[in-house]
Amino acid sequence: MGLSEFINQIAMWVQGLIEALGYLGLGLVMFLENLFPPIPSEAVLPMAGWLAFEKRGGFTLWGITLVGALGSVAGAMVFYGLGYWFGEERVRYLLRRFGKWLLLSEGDFDTALAWFNRYGELVIFFSRMVPIVRSLISVPAGLASMNLGRFTTYTTVGTALWSFVLALAGYILGQNWHLVMDWINRYENAVLILAGVAIVAFITRRLYQRSQQRRQAA
């Protein structure tokens, strides 16, 4: 089974669940979407917007926005809890023991924590509108012990905006709601490319720094 066929089967399952259970199904799918990325919100929400356009299942744009946000926030809380439970001490232990193989150190972790503590709210807000990252960003928020109230607020606002925009796109496109996935896939590919470039740049810079340190030590 190819990836596209797998995604289509998920989309069909999602559509059946949403049409059968209404808002309850939508909330459940959005909760699972945060935990299981192959369920893409860029398919779920435009589909729900199309159902609102067709006046099926009692869906409205504002209802989709609210329920989509609540489901996503519930899913985000799971990853936040995992990060909080894993804790800073375990991360430091792993970095001390295995960090050199990943070109990472406790100093890098301290820098990341300081950066997150300073810009965490903006990171949470904008990350909720970035595929893949939107699910995982809750883990470092938990690790950094970000204030739960602030985390919930910025997650809710960012997710609600994302939910409304995608649902509105599906509402406007009607039966062509699936075109939203094509646009989002291009956006997602661009994000992945930028992330790949950033990782390569980080590894290159870190290897160069280690090489310079060895020369100085010699």
Model confidence pLDDT, tens digit, residues 96-123 = 887 777 667 777 777 777 777 787 888 8
Question: Are residues 68 and 30 in contact, defined by beta-carbon separation less than 8 angstroms?
Answer: yes
φ and ψ of 92, to 5 deg: -65, -40
Confidence of residue 175 (pLDDT cuts 50, 70, 90): confident
* Per-residue pLDDT tens digits for 23-41: 898 899 889 888 776 666 7
Question: What's at 96, amino acid-wise?
Answer: R
Q: Is the pLDDT of residue 1 over 60?
A: no
pLDDT score of 161: 92
* pLDDT on residue 101: 76
pLDDT at 17: 80
Residue 2 has pLDDT above 70, yes or no: no
Average pLDDT of span 12-26: 81
User: What DSSP state is assigned to residue 211?
Assistant: H
| pLDDT, tens digit (0-9, with 9 covering 90-100), for 48-95 | 888 888 887 788 999 999 999 999 999 999 989 988 998 888 888 887
Strand locations in the chain (E): none
Kindly report the pTM of this predicted structure: 0.77
The rounded distance, in Å, linking the Cα atoms of 191 and 214 is: 35
DSSP 26-64: HHHHHHHHHH-TTS-HHHHHHHHHHHHHTT-TT--HHHH
Query: Of 36-50, 59-73, 141-155, 193-207, which range is least confident?
Result: 193-207
Which of left, alpha, beta for 40 (phi over 0: left; psi -120 to 50: alpha)? beta
Inter-residue contact 26 to 60 (CB < 8 Å) = no
